[in-house]
Amino acid sequence: MAATRPRKAAAVEATKKTTKTTATSKTAKATTTTTTTTAAKATKATTATKAANIKARNDNAGVATVAPHPKKVVGKRKADDEEEDDAKAKGVKRVKSEAAKPAPDSKPAEQRAAAPKTATARKVKPKAEINHAPTEKLNVYVFGEGSSGELGLGSAKGQTEVKRPRYNPNLSPDTVGVVALSVGGMHTAALTHGNRILTWGVNDQGALGRDTNWEGGLRDIDEDAGSDDDDSDSGSETAVNPKESTPGEVDMSGVPEGVVFTQLACTDSATFALTSEGEVYGWGTFRSNEGIFGFDPTTLIQLRPKLIKGLKNIIKLAAGANHVLALQSNGIVLGWGSGQQNQLGRRILERRAANSLVPMPIGLPKKIVHIGAGAYNSFAVRENGDVLSWGLNNFGQTGIPKEFDETGASKSADVHHPIVIETLHGRGQVICIQGGAHHTVAVTDKGELLVWGRLDGNQLGIKVSDLPQEHIVRDSAGHPRILTVPAQIPNIDAVHAAAGSDHCIAIDRKGKAYAWGFSTTYQTGLGTDDDVEVATMIDNTAVRDKKLVWAGAGGQFSVLAGLPTPVVNGVDGGANGHA
Protein backbone atom coordinates (compact mmCIF):
# COMPACT_ATOMS: atom_id res chain seq x y z
CA MET A 1 0.00 0.00 0.00
CA ALA A 2 1.08 3.25 -0.55
CA ALA A 3 1.08 6.04 1.95
CA THR A 4 1.73 9.72 1.53
CA ARG A 5 5.16 11.20 0.91
CA PRO A 6 7.46 12.08 3.87
CA ARG A 7 9.79 15.04 4.01
CA LYS A 8 12.93 15.85 6.06
CA ALA A 9 12.74 19.32 7.64
CA ALA A 10 14.06 21.37 10.56
CA ALA A 11 13.29 20.01 14.04
CA VAL A 12 9.94 21.01 15.49
CA GLU A 13 9.13 21.91 19.11
CA ALA A 14 7.56 18.86 20.76
CA THR A 15 5.05 19.05 23.57
CA LYS A 16 3.77 16.39 25.89
CA LYS A 17 0.45 16.03 24.11
CA THR A 18 1.75 16.16 20.57
CA THR A 19 0.68 13.07 18.62
CA LYS A 20 2.48 10.93 16.05
CA THR A 21 1.87 11.74 12.39
CA THR A 22 1.01 9.15 9.75
CA ALA A 23 3.04 8.86 6.53
CA THR A 24 1.78 11.56 4.19
CA SER A 25 1.87 12.73 0.64
CA LYS A 26 4.47 14.92 -1.00
CA THR A 27 1.61 16.64 -2.75
CA ALA A 28 -2.10 16.35 -3.23
CA LYS A 29 -4.70 17.39 -5.74
CA ALA A 30 -4.34 20.86 -7.20
CA THR A 31 -7.81 22.19 -6.36
CA THR A 32 -10.53 20.62 -4.27
CA THR A 33 -8.98 17.27 -3.40
CA THR A 34 -6.50 16.97 -0.60
CA THR A 35 -4.29 14.10 0.46
CA THR A 36 -2.82 12.78 3.71
CA THR A 37 0.42 14.33 5.03
CA THR A 38 3.21 12.53 6.82
CA ALA A 39 6.05 13.40 9.07
CA ALA A 40 9.63 13.91 7.94
CA LYS A 41 12.51 13.38 10.30
CA ALA A 42 14.54 16.41 11.37
CA THR A 43 18.09 15.83 10.20
CA LYS A 44 21.11 17.23 8.36
CA ALA A 45 21.09 20.69 6.82
CA THR A 46 21.77 19.24 3.39
CA THR A 47 18.66 17.13 3.50
CA ALA A 48 16.61 20.05 4.81
CA THR A 49 17.79 22.04 1.79
CA LYS A 50 16.63 19.23 -0.49
CA ALA A 51 13.22 19.20 1.20
CA ALA A 52 12.93 22.95 0.74
CA ASN A 53 13.70 22.60 -2.96
CA ILE A 54 11.10 19.88 -3.35
CA LYS A 55 8.54 21.96 -1.49
CA ALA A 56 9.27 24.86 -3.80
CA ARG A 57 8.63 22.56 -6.75
CA ASN A 58 5.25 21.64 -5.28
CA ASP A 59 4.40 25.27 -4.53
CA ASN A 60 5.07 26.15 -8.16
CA ALA A 61 2.64 23.43 -9.17
CA GLY A 62 -0.12 24.88 -7.02
CA VAL A 63 -0.65 21.59 -5.17
CA ALA A 64 -2.81 21.54 -2.04
CA THR A 65 -2.35 19.16 0.86
CA VAL A 66 -4.29 17.09 3.37
CA ALA A 67 -5.16 17.17 7.07
CA PRO A 68 -2.32 15.48 8.96
CA HIS A 69 -2.55 12.31 11.01
CA PRO A 70 -1.89 13.33 14.64
CA LYS A 71 0.97 11.45 16.29
CA LYS A 72 2.79 11.59 19.60
CA VAL A 73 6.24 13.14 19.47
CA VAL A 74 8.90 11.23 21.39
CA GLY A 75 12.40 12.59 20.92
CA LYS A 76 13.08 13.89 17.43
CA ARG A 77 10.19 13.52 14.99
CA LYS A 78 9.39 14.46 11.46
CA ALA A 79 7.75 17.81 10.79
CA ASP A 80 4.85 18.46 8.45
CA ASP A 81 5.94 20.50 5.45
CA GLU A 82 2.58 20.84 3.78
CA GLU A 83 -0.49 22.94 4.59
CA GLU A 84 -3.51 21.46 6.33
CA ASP A 85 -6.75 21.44 4.40
CA ASP A 86 -9.48 23.39 6.16
CA ALA A 87 -12.44 21.68 4.56
CA LYS A 88 -15.55 21.37 6.69
CA ALA A 89 -15.78 18.18 8.74
CA LYS A 90 -18.55 15.82 7.83
CA GLY A 91 -20.16 12.53 8.90
CA VAL A 92 -22.39 11.49 11.75
CA LYS A 93 -21.55 11.35 15.41
CA ARG A 94 -19.91 8.10 16.39
CA VAL A 95 -18.30 6.64 19.47
CA LYS A 96 -15.08 4.76 20.15
CA SER A 97 -15.24 1.03 20.59
CA GLU A 98 -14.49 -0.43 23.98
CA ALA A 99 -10.84 -0.94 24.72
CA ALA A 100 -9.29 -4.36 24.48
CA LYS A 101 -8.37 -6.10 27.73
CA PRO A 102 -4.81 -4.99 28.51
CA ALA A 103 -1.91 -7.32 29.10
CA PRO A 104 -1.21 -8.04 32.80
CA ASP A 105 1.91 -5.82 32.83
CA SER A 106 0.29 -2.73 31.33
CA LYS A 107 -2.65 -0.38 31.66
CA PRO A 108 -5.04 0.91 29.02
CA ALA A 109 -3.82 4.03 27.24
CA GLU A 110 -5.03 7.24 28.86
CA GLN A 111 -7.16 8.22 25.89
CA ARG A 112 -9.27 5.07 26.24
CA ALA A 113 -12.02 6.29 28.56
CA ALA A 114 -14.26 3.22 28.39
CA ALA A 115 -13.67 0.42 30.88
CA PRO A 116 -11.90 -2.47 29.17
CA LYS A 117 -13.99 -5.52 28.41
CA THR A 118 -13.11 -8.82 26.89
CA ALA A 119 -15.51 -10.57 24.57
CA THR A 120 -16.00 -14.26 25.19
CA ALA A 121 -14.80 -16.31 22.25
CA ARG A 122 -17.51 -18.58 20.90
CA LYS A 123 -17.21 -21.78 18.98
CA VAL A 124 -18.17 -21.57 15.35
CA LYS A 125 -19.77 -24.03 13.02
CA PRO A 126 -17.31 -25.09 10.33
CA LYS A 127 -17.95 -23.52 6.93
CA ALA A 128 -16.59 -24.25 3.50
CA GLU A 129 -13.05 -22.97 3.00
CA ILE A 130 -12.57 -20.84 -0.11
CA ASN A 131 -9.16 -19.36 0.77
CA HIS A 132 -5.96 -21.04 1.90
CA ALA A 133 -3.15 -19.52 3.93
CA PRO A 134 0.40 -19.53 2.54
CA THR A 135 2.66 -22.13 4.13
CA GLU A 136 6.20 -21.06 3.13
CA LYS A 137 8.03 -19.53 6.09
CA LEU A 138 9.92 -16.37 5.14
CA ASN A 139 12.92 -14.32 6.14
CA VAL A 140 11.95 -10.67 6.65
CA TYR A 141 14.25 -7.72 5.84
CA VAL A 142 13.56 -4.08 6.68
CA PHE A 143 15.08 -0.69 5.87
CA GLY A 144 14.29 3.02 5.92
CA GLU A 145 12.81 5.13 8.71
CA GLY A 146 12.16 3.42 12.04
CA SER A 147 11.89 6.21 14.60
CA SER A 148 8.27 5.24 15.27
CA GLY A 149 8.90 1.51 15.37
CA GLU A 150 8.10 0.94 11.68
CA LEU A 151 10.94 -1.56 11.20
CA GLY A 152 9.97 -3.89 14.05
CA LEU A 153 13.57 -4.14 15.25
CA GLY A 154 12.82 -3.24 18.86
CA SER A 155 14.16 -0.30 20.83
CA ALA A 156 17.87 -1.10 20.94
CA LYS A 157 20.51 1.28 19.60
CA GLY A 158 20.83 1.70 15.85
CA GLN A 159 17.29 0.63 14.90
CA THR A 160 15.78 3.97 13.86
CA GLU A 161 17.23 4.53 10.39
CA VAL A 162 18.51 1.60 8.36
CA LYS A 163 20.12 2.36 5.02
CA ARG A 164 20.14 -1.13 3.49
CA PRO A 165 18.14 -4.33 4.03
CA ARG A 166 18.57 -5.77 7.51
CA TYR A 167 17.35 -9.18 8.59
CA ASN A 168 14.74 -8.86 11.36
CA PRO A 169 15.61 -11.43 14.06
CA ASN A 170 12.29 -10.78 15.80
CA LEU A 171 10.59 -12.55 12.87
CA SER A 172 12.77 -15.64 12.53
CA PRO A 173 11.26 -18.41 10.38
CA ASP A 174 12.31 -20.93 13.04
CA THR A 175 10.60 -19.27 16.00
CA VAL A 176 7.88 -17.12 14.37
CA GLY A 177 7.34 -18.39 10.84
CA VAL A 178 5.96 -15.41 8.89
CA VAL A 179 4.07 -16.53 5.77
CA ALA A 180 2.48 -13.25 4.60
CA LEU A 181 2.80 -9.50 5.25
CA SER A 182 1.15 -6.18 4.48
CA VAL A 183 2.59 -2.68 4.85
CA GLY A 184 0.61 0.43 5.76
CA GLY A 185 1.66 4.04 5.98
CA MET A 186 3.56 3.66 9.26
CA HIS A 187 2.85 0.11 10.40
CA THR A 188 3.18 -3.49 9.24
CA ALA A 189 1.18 -6.68 9.85
CA ALA A 190 2.46 -10.24 9.49
CA LEU A 191 0.60 -13.56 9.37
CA THR A 192 2.45 -16.51 10.86
CA HIS A 193 2.49 -20.22 10.11
CA GLY A 194 0.66 -20.76 13.41
CA ASN A 195 -2.25 -18.44 12.42
CA ARG A 196 -1.13 -15.54 14.62
CA ILE A 197 -1.16 -11.95 13.39
CA LEU A 198 1.76 -9.79 14.54
CA THR A 199 1.87 -6.00 14.17
CA TRP A 200 4.37 -3.21 14.80
CA GLY A 201 4.73 0.52 14.12
CA VAL A 202 2.43 3.44 14.91
CA ASN A 203 -0.61 2.56 17.04
CA ASP A 204 -2.09 6.00 17.77
CA GLN A 205 -5.42 5.05 16.18
CA GLY A 206 -5.60 1.32 16.79
CA ALA A 207 -3.87 0.03 13.66
CA LEU A 208 -1.90 -2.56 15.66
CA GLY A 209 -5.00 -4.15 17.20
CA ARG A 210 -3.42 -4.50 20.65
CA ASP A 211 -2.53 -2.51 23.74
CA THR A 212 0.83 -0.77 23.38
CA ASN A 213 0.70 1.47 26.44
CA TRP A 214 4.17 1.49 28.00
CA GLU A 215 4.78 2.64 31.57
CA GLY A 216 8.49 2.00 31.60
CA GLY A 217 9.28 5.27 29.85
CA LEU A 218 10.34 5.71 26.26
CA ARG A 219 13.82 4.42 25.59
CA ASP A 220 16.38 6.92 24.29
CA ILE A 221 18.45 5.61 21.44
CA ASP A 222 21.64 7.68 21.56
CA GLU A 223 23.76 6.93 18.54
CA ASP A 224 26.27 9.74 19.11
CA ALA A 225 28.57 7.15 20.63
CA GLY A 226 28.91 5.69 17.16
CA SER A 227 27.84 2.47 15.49
CA ASP A 228 29.79 -0.29 13.84
CA ASP A 229 26.95 -0.84 11.38
CA ASP A 230 27.39 1.13 8.16
CA ASP A 231 23.72 0.61 7.38
CA SER A 232 22.57 2.66 10.37
CA ASP A 233 22.17 6.39 10.76
CA SER A 234 24.41 8.20 13.24
CA GLY A 235 24.39 11.41 15.20
CA SER A 236 20.71 11.26 16.13
CA GLU A 237 18.77 10.62 19.31
CA THR A 238 15.30 9.13 19.32
CA ALA A 239 12.94 7.62 21.85
CA VAL A 240 10.64 4.74 20.95
CA ASN A 241 7.95 2.70 22.61
CA PRO A 242 9.26 -0.89 22.78
CA LYS A 243 5.72 -2.28 22.54
CA GLU A 244 5.22 -0.51 19.21
CA SER A 245 8.70 -1.15 17.84
CA THR A 246 8.66 -4.88 18.63
CA PRO A 247 6.30 -7.27 16.77
CA GLY A 248 3.42 -8.24 19.05
CA GLU A 249 0.36 -10.45 18.69
CA VAL A 250 -3.00 -8.89 17.86
CA ASP A 251 -5.63 -9.26 20.60
CA MET A 252 -7.92 -12.01 19.27
CA SER A 253 -10.06 -12.27 22.42
CA GLY A 254 -13.19 -11.31 20.48
CA VAL A 255 -12.57 -13.59 17.50
CA PRO A 256 -14.32 -17.00 17.49
CA GLU A 257 -12.22 -20.12 17.90
CA GLY A 258 -11.27 -21.86 14.70
CA VAL A 259 -11.03 -18.76 12.49
CA VAL A 260 -8.14 -19.16 10.04
CA PHE A 261 -6.59 -16.08 8.42
CA THR A 262 -5.20 -16.13 4.88
CA GLN A 263 -4.38 -12.54 3.82
CA LEU A 264 -3.71 -9.13 5.40
CA ALA A 265 -4.25 -5.60 4.06
CA CYS A 266 -3.09 -2.38 5.73
CA THR A 267 -4.28 1.18 5.15
CA ASP A 268 -2.60 4.19 6.76
CA SER A 269 -4.44 3.73 10.07
CA ALA A 270 -6.16 0.34 9.95
CA THR A 271 -5.54 -3.34 9.33
CA PHE A 272 -7.82 -5.96 7.75
CA ALA A 273 -7.58 -9.76 7.74
CA LEU A 274 -9.26 -12.17 5.32
CA THR A 275 -10.36 -15.59 6.58
CA SER A 276 -10.40 -19.00 4.94
CA GLU A 277 -14.21 -18.82 4.82
CA GLY A 278 -14.25 -15.50 2.96
CA GLU A 279 -15.04 -13.20 5.88
CA VAL A 280 -13.08 -10.09 6.88
CA TYR A 281 -12.02 -8.74 10.28
CA GLY A 282 -10.62 -5.27 10.80
CA TRP A 283 -9.38 -2.78 13.39
CA GLY A 284 -8.14 0.82 13.51
CA THR A 285 -9.84 3.69 11.70
CA PHE A 286 -10.14 5.52 8.39
CA ARG A 287 -9.18 9.16 7.91
CA SER A 288 -10.70 11.84 5.69
CA ASN A 289 -9.56 15.31 4.69
CA GLU A 290 -10.82 16.58 8.04
CA GLY A 291 -9.06 14.01 10.25
CA ILE A 292 -10.38 10.82 11.84
CA PHE A 293 -13.40 9.62 9.85
CA GLY A 294 -14.31 6.38 11.63
CA PHE A 295 -14.08 2.62 11.39
CA ASP A 296 -17.78 2.05 10.72
CA PRO A 297 -20.93 4.21 11.12
CA THR A 298 -21.08 3.56 14.87
CA THR A 299 -17.39 3.25 15.82
CA LEU A 300 -14.76 5.94 15.63
CA ILE A 301 -11.71 3.83 16.47
CA GLN A 302 -11.85 0.02 16.63
CA LEU A 303 -9.21 -1.22 19.06
CA ARG A 304 -9.33 -4.96 18.39
CA PRO A 305 -10.51 -7.21 15.52
CA LYS A 306 -14.16 -6.83 14.55
CA LEU A 307 -16.08 -8.76 11.91
CA ILE A 308 -17.00 -6.53 8.96
CA LYS A 309 -20.70 -6.97 8.26
CA GLY A 310 -21.90 -7.52 4.72
CA LEU A 311 -18.74 -9.23 3.44
CA LYS A 312 -19.16 -12.86 2.34
CA ASN A 313 -17.22 -15.09 -0.05
CA ILE A 314 -14.31 -12.63 -0.26
CA ILE A 315 -11.19 -14.00 -1.96
CA LYS A 316 -8.90 -10.94 -2.06
CA LEU A 317 -8.36 -7.57 -0.35
CA ALA A 318 -6.61 -4.42 -1.58
CA ALA A 319 -6.02 -1.29 0.49
CA GLY A 320 -5.27 2.34 -0.26
CA ALA A 321 -4.40 5.06 2.23
CA ASN A 322 -7.95 5.23 3.59
CA HIS A 323 -10.10 2.82 1.61
CA VAL A 324 -10.38 -0.93 1.06
CA LEU A 325 -11.53 -3.09 -1.86
CA ALA A 326 -12.81 -6.66 -1.48
CA LEU A 327 -13.21 -9.12 -4.37
CA GLN A 328 -15.92 -11.77 -4.08
CA SER A 329 -15.62 -15.23 -5.59
CA ASN A 330 -18.35 -14.29 -8.11
CA GLY A 331 -16.29 -11.37 -9.47
CA ILE A 332 -18.16 -8.58 -7.65
CA VAL A 333 -16.00 -5.87 -6.01
CA LEU A 334 -17.05 -4.01 -2.87
CA GLY A 335 -15.44 -0.91 -1.41
CA TRP A 336 -15.59 1.10 1.81
CA GLY A 337 -13.69 3.78 3.73
CA SER A 338 -13.11 7.37 2.66
CA GLY A 339 -14.50 8.17 -0.77
CA GLN A 340 -13.65 11.86 -1.01
CA GLN A 341 -11.48 11.31 -4.10
CA ASN A 342 -14.03 8.96 -5.72
CA GLN A 343 -11.86 5.94 -4.94
CA LEU A 344 -15.02 4.00 -4.02
CA GLY A 345 -16.50 4.58 -7.46
CA ARG A 346 -19.76 5.98 -6.12
CA ARG A 347 -21.16 9.37 -5.25
CA ILE A 348 -20.81 10.27 -1.57
CA LEU A 349 -23.28 12.83 -0.22
CA GLU A 350 -21.75 15.08 2.42
CA ARG A 351 -24.68 14.76 4.79
CA ARG A 352 -24.43 10.96 4.55
CA ALA A 353 -20.67 10.64 4.43
CA ALA A 354 -20.63 7.90 7.08
CA ASN A 355 -22.46 5.60 4.65
CA SER A 356 -19.16 5.15 2.81
CA LEU A 357 -17.91 3.20 5.85
CA VAL A 358 -20.31 0.39 4.88
CA PRO A 359 -19.04 -2.02 2.16
CA MET A 360 -21.03 -1.53 -1.04
CA PRO A 361 -20.70 -3.02 -4.55
CA ILE A 362 -18.83 -0.96 -7.14
CA GLY A 363 -20.36 -0.62 -10.60
CA LEU A 364 -18.00 -2.82 -12.60
CA PRO A 365 -18.39 -5.28 -15.48
CA LYS A 366 -18.62 -8.98 -14.73
CA LYS A 367 -15.72 -11.38 -14.24
CA ILE A 368 -13.31 -9.25 -12.23
CA VAL A 369 -10.35 -11.47 -11.30
CA HIS A 370 -7.91 -9.08 -9.62
CA ILE A 371 -7.97 -5.78 -7.71
CA GLY A 372 -5.42 -3.17 -6.67
CA ALA A 373 -5.27 0.23 -5.03
CA GLY A 374 -3.27 3.43 -5.03
CA ALA A 375 -3.30 5.81 -2.11
CA TYR A 376 -6.48 7.50 -3.38
CA ASN A 377 -7.50 5.52 -6.46
CA SER A 378 -8.50 1.96 -7.35
CA PHE A 379 -8.03 -0.70 -10.02
CA ALA A 380 -9.89 -3.81 -11.19
CA VAL A 381 -8.77 -6.38 -13.76
CA ARG A 382 -11.24 -8.36 -15.87
CA GLU A 383 -10.82 -11.93 -17.02
CA ASN A 384 -10.44 -10.66 -20.60
CA GLY A 385 -7.45 -8.49 -19.60
CA ASP A 386 -9.19 -5.11 -19.38
CA VAL A 387 -7.95 -2.94 -16.51
CA LEU A 388 -10.40 -0.40 -15.08
CA SER A 389 -9.42 2.54 -12.91
CA TRP A 390 -11.11 5.29 -10.91
CA GLY A 391 -10.39 7.84 -8.18
CA LEU A 392 -7.81 10.60 -7.80
CA ASN A 393 -6.20 11.45 -11.14
CA ASN A 394 -4.49 14.80 -10.64
CA PHE A 395 -1.21 13.40 -11.98
CA GLY A 396 -2.63 10.86 -14.40
CA GLN A 397 -2.15 8.01 -11.93
CA THR A 398 -5.34 6.25 -12.98
CA GLY A 399 -4.07 5.96 -16.55
CA ILE A 400 -7.22 7.69 -17.83
CA PRO A 401 -6.47 10.61 -20.22
CA LYS A 402 -7.23 14.08 -18.87
CA GLU A 403 -6.63 17.70 -19.80
CA PHE A 404 -3.79 19.35 -17.90
CA ASP A 405 -3.24 23.00 -16.99
CA GLU A 406 -0.06 25.06 -17.34
CA THR A 407 1.34 23.68 -14.06
CA GLY A 408 1.07 20.13 -15.35
CA ALA A 409 -1.84 19.22 -13.06
CA SER A 410 -5.08 17.67 -14.24
CA LYS A 411 -7.96 20.10 -14.79
CA SER A 412 -10.38 17.43 -13.61
CA ALA A 413 -8.75 15.80 -10.60
CA ASP A 414 -10.96 12.72 -10.19
CA VAL A 415 -12.25 9.85 -12.30
CA HIS A 416 -15.72 9.39 -10.84
CA HIS A 417 -16.47 5.85 -12.00
CA PRO A 418 -14.52 2.86 -13.37
CA ILE A 419 -13.13 3.38 -16.88
CA VAL A 420 -11.01 1.00 -18.98
CA ILE A 421 -7.34 2.00 -19.36
CA GLU A 422 -7.13 1.80 -23.14
CA THR A 423 -3.35 2.25 -23.23
CA LEU A 424 -2.89 -1.14 -21.53
CA HIS A 425 -4.51 -3.00 -24.42
CA GLY A 426 -2.05 -5.32 -26.11
CA ARG A 427 -0.06 -5.85 -22.95
CA GLY A 428 -0.12 -9.08 -20.99
CA GLN A 429 -2.67 -9.84 -18.28
CA VAL A 430 -2.01 -7.60 -15.27
CA ILE A 431 -1.27 -9.78 -12.23
CA CYS A 432 -0.13 -7.06 -9.82
CA ILE A 433 -1.02 -3.36 -9.71
CA GLN A 434 -0.37 -0.80 -6.96
CA GLY A 435 -0.29 2.97 -6.73
CA GLY A 436 1.64 5.46 -4.67
CA ALA A 437 0.49 8.96 -3.89
CA HIS A 438 0.46 10.00 -7.57
CA HIS A 439 2.03 7.20 -9.63
CA THR A 440 1.27 3.57 -10.52
CA VAL A 441 3.30 0.40 -11.07
CA ALA A 442 1.94 -2.80 -12.64
CA VAL A 443 3.28 -6.26 -13.53
CA THR A 444 1.92 -8.47 -16.33
CA ASP A 445 2.01 -12.23 -16.74
CA LYS A 446 4.67 -11.66 -19.41
CA GLY A 447 6.98 -10.12 -16.83
CA GLU A 448 6.49 -6.56 -18.07
CA LEU A 449 7.10 -3.91 -15.40
CA LEU A 450 4.93 -0.89 -16.29
CA VAL A 451 4.83 2.60 -14.76
CA TRP A 452 2.91 5.83 -15.30
CA GLY A 453 1.78 9.00 -13.53
CA ARG A 454 3.89 11.55 -11.70
CA LEU A 455 7.60 11.56 -12.56
CA ASP A 456 9.15 14.78 -11.22
CA GLY A 457 10.45 12.91 -8.16
CA ASN A 458 11.87 9.95 -10.14
CA GLN A 459 8.83 7.88 -9.20
CA LEU A 460 8.87 5.92 -12.47
CA GLY A 461 12.40 4.47 -12.49
CA ILE A 462 13.18 5.49 -16.08
CA LYS A 463 15.23 8.43 -17.31
CA VAL A 464 12.96 11.14 -18.67
CA SER A 465 15.00 11.19 -21.88
CA ASP A 466 14.11 7.52 -22.42
CA LEU A 467 10.35 8.09 -22.11
CA PRO A 468 8.01 8.80 -25.06
CA GLN A 469 8.27 12.60 -25.14
CA GLU A 470 4.87 13.05 -26.80
CA HIS A 471 3.21 11.56 -23.72
CA ILE A 472 4.99 13.73 -21.15
CA VAL A 473 3.11 16.66 -19.60
CA ARG A 474 5.36 19.61 -18.73
CA ASP A 475 4.73 22.65 -16.56
CA SER A 476 4.93 26.26 -17.73
CA ALA A 477 8.70 26.25 -17.19
CA GLY A 478 9.11 23.19 -19.39
CA HIS A 479 9.86 20.79 -16.55
CA PRO A 480 8.53 17.23 -17.04
CA ARG A 481 5.77 16.41 -14.58
CA ILE A 482 3.60 13.51 -15.74
CA LEU A 483 3.73 10.46 -17.99
CA THR A 484 0.22 9.87 -19.32
CA VAL A 485 0.70 6.36 -20.78
CA PRO A 486 2.32 3.20 -19.39
CA ALA A 487 6.03 2.76 -20.08
CA GLN A 488 8.00 -0.44 -19.54
CA ILE A 489 11.08 -0.49 -17.32
CA PRO A 490 13.61 -2.44 -19.39
CA ASN A 491 15.65 -5.50 -18.45
CA ILE A 492 13.55 -6.60 -15.48
CA ASP A 493 11.49 -9.79 -15.77
CA ALA A 494 9.12 -8.89 -12.94
CA VAL A 495 6.81 -11.05 -10.85
CA HIS A 496 5.83 -8.55 -8.13
CA ALA A 497 5.95 -4.81 -7.43
CA ALA A 498 5.05 -2.45 -4.59
CA ALA A 499 4.49 1.30 -4.55
CA GLY A 500 5.25 3.56 -1.60
CA SER A 501 4.34 7.22 -1.48
CA ASP A 502 6.98 8.19 -4.04
CA HIS A 503 9.20 5.12 -4.39
CA CYS A 504 8.79 1.60 -5.76
CA ILE A 505 10.31 -1.84 -5.32
CA ALA A 506 10.02 -4.70 -7.82
CA ILE A 507 10.95 -8.39 -7.54
CA ASP A 508 12.17 -10.25 -10.62
CA ARG A 509 11.82 -13.91 -11.53
CA LYS A 510 15.28 -14.70 -10.13
CA GLY A 511 14.35 -13.32 -6.72
CA LYS A 512 16.26 -10.03 -6.95
CA ALA A 513 14.81 -6.71 -5.78
CA TYR A 514 15.02 -3.38 -7.63
CA ALA A 515 14.18 0.04 -6.19
CA TRP A 516 13.82 3.62 -7.38
CA GLY A 517 12.32 6.99 -6.44
CA PHE A 518 12.36 9.19 -3.36
CA SER A 519 15.00 7.99 -0.87
CA THR A 520 15.45 10.70 1.76
CA THR A 521 14.89 8.20 4.60
CA TYR A 522 16.68 5.35 2.77
CA GLN A 523 13.39 3.69 1.85
CA THR A 524 14.91 2.41 -1.41
CA GLY A 525 17.40 0.27 0.53
CA LEU A 526 20.24 1.44 -1.70
CA GLY A 527 22.21 3.26 0.99
CA THR A 528 21.57 6.74 -0.40
CA ASP A 529 19.30 9.59 0.64
CA ASP A 530 19.33 11.04 -2.88
CA ASP A 531 16.51 10.31 -5.31
CA VAL A 532 17.15 7.15 -7.35
CA GLU A 533 16.41 7.93 -11.00
CA VAL A 534 16.46 4.46 -12.55
CA ALA A 535 15.50 1.04 -11.22
CA THR A 536 18.57 -0.28 -9.39
CA MET A 537 19.17 -3.71 -7.87
CA ILE A 538 19.26 -3.83 -4.06
CA ASP A 539 22.44 -5.63 -3.13
CA ASN A 540 24.04 -6.16 0.26
CA THR A 541 25.14 -9.22 2.21
CA ALA A 542 21.74 -9.59 3.87
CA VAL A 543 19.93 -10.37 0.61
CA ARG A 544 22.66 -11.15 -1.92
CA ASP A 545 22.25 -14.93 -1.79
CA LYS A 546 18.54 -14.93 -0.97
CA LYS A 547 15.58 -15.55 -3.24
CA LEU A 548 13.19 -12.68 -2.55
CA VAL A 549 9.51 -13.24 -3.26
CA TRP A 550 7.70 -10.17 -1.91
CA ALA A 551 8.13 -6.45 -1.24
CA GLY A 552 6.08 -3.87 0.64
CA ALA A 553 6.55 -0.10 0.59
CA GLY A 554 5.32 2.31 3.26
CA GLY A 555 5.54 6.06 3.43
CA GLN A 556 9.17 6.16 4.55
CA PHE A 557 10.25 2.54 4.98
CA SER A 558 10.17 -0.76 3.10
CA VAL A 559 10.03 -4.50 3.77
CA LEU A 560 11.34 -7.47 1.77
CA ALA A 561 10.56 -11.15 2.29
CA GLY A 562 12.47 -14.11 0.93
CA LEU A 563 12.90 -17.84 1.20
CA PRO A 564 15.24 -19.01 3.97
CA THR A 565 18.44 -20.73 2.85
CA PRO A 566 20.05 -23.77 4.49
CA VAL A 567 22.54 -23.07 7.23
CA VAL A 568 26.13 -23.46 5.97
CA ASN A 569 28.85 -24.16 8.54
CA GLY A 570 26.51 -23.02 11.27
CA VAL A 571 25.93 -19.59 9.74
CA ASP A 572 22.78 -18.37 8.04
CA GLY A 573 23.69 -15.56 5.62
CA GLY A 574 20.48 -13.71 6.40
CA ALA A 575 20.42 -14.04 10.15
CA ASN A 576 24.09 -13.68 10.95
CA GLY A 577 25.85 -12.38 7.88
CA HIS A 578 23.79 -9.29 7.13
CA ALA A 579 25.30 -5.86 6.68
Q: Give residue-wise pLDDT tens across range 404-439.
A: 666 666 667 899 999 999 999 999 999 999 999 999
**pLDDT interval class at 555 (50, 70, 90):** very high
Q: How far is CA 40 from the centre of its chain?
A: 16
pLDDT in the model for residue 11:
35
Instruction: Tell whether 463 is covered by a domain.
Output: yes
pLDDT in the model for residue 424:
98
Nearest Cα to Cα of residue 67 among 41, 89, 86: 86
Question: pLDDT tens digits, residue range 346-367?
Answer: 988 777 888 999 999 999 999 9
Instruction: Tell whether 64 is covered by a domain.
Output: no
The least confident of 126-135, 475-484, 555-564, 570-579 is 570-579
Q: How far apart are CA 168 and CA 474, in angstroms?
A: 42
Task: Summarize the chain as % helix, strand, coil (round to 5).
Answer: 5, 35, 60
Q: How far apart are CA 504 and CA 487, in angstroms?
A: 15
pLDDT in the model for residue 159:
82
pLDDT in the model for residue 46:
42
Task: Provide mean pLDDT across the span 298-307.
Answer: 98
CATH number at residue 216: 2.130.10.30
Q: Length of the chain in residues, anyone?
A: 579
Secondary structure of residue 162 in the 3-state scheme: strand
The least confident of 37-51, 272-286, 472-486 is 37-51
Question: 360: domain range?
Answer: 139-563
Bridge partners of 559, per DSSP, are 142, 552
Question: pLDDT tens digits, residue range 62-78?
Answer: 333 344 444 443 333 33
Q: Is the pLDDT of residue 544 over 90?
A: yes
**pLDDT interval class at 546 (50, 70, 90):** very high
Instruction: Tell whether 20 is covered by a domain.
Output: no
Percentage above 70 pLDDT, the chain: 70
The residue ranking higher by pLDDT, 390 or 32, is 390
Q: How far apart are CA 102 and CA 11, in angstroms?
A: 34
Q: Please, are residues 513 and 560 in contact by the beta-carbon 8 Å criterion? A: yes
pLDDT in the model for residue 160:
85
pLDDT in the model for residue 354:
87
**pLDDT interval class at 579 (50, 70, 90):** very low
Instruction: Tell whether 126 is covered by a domain.
Output: no
Instruction: Tell whether 496 is covered by a domain.
Output: yes
Q: Report how many domains make up the chain.
A: 1
pLDDT in the model for residue 510:
97
**pLDDT interval class at 474 (50, 70, 90):** very high
Task: Provide mean pLDDT across the span 519-524.
Answer: 98
Task: Give the distance between the most distant pair of CA atoms in the chain.
Answer: 66
The least confident of 62-76, 230-244, 272-286, 368-382 is 62-76
Instruction: Tell whether 246 is covered by a domain.
Output: yes
Instruction: Tell whether 571 is covered by a domain.
Output: no
**pLDDT interval class at 28 (50, 70, 90):** very low
The residue ranking higher by pLDDT, 419 or 155, is 419
Q: Where are the beta strands (DSSP E) in 65-177?
A: 139-145, 161-167
Q: Is the pLDDT of residue 107 over 80?
A: no
Give every CB contact of residue 157 below 8 A, 6+ residues apart in sequence: 221, 222, 223, 227
Question: pLDDT tens digits, residue range 192-219?
Answer: 999 999 999 999 999 999 999 988 655 5
The least confident of 236-240, 491-495, 510-514, 553-557 is 236-240
Q: How confident is the prediction for the chain on average, in pLDDT? A: 80
Instruction: Tell whether 68 is covered by a domain.
Output: no
Between the alpha carbon of residue 208 and those of residues 306, 464, 493, the distances in Å are 13, 40, 35
The least confident of 177-181, 313-317, 362-366, 401-405 is 401-405
The least confident of 20-34, 138-152, 390-404, 545-559 is 20-34
Q: Is the pLDDT of residue 285 over 50?
A: yes
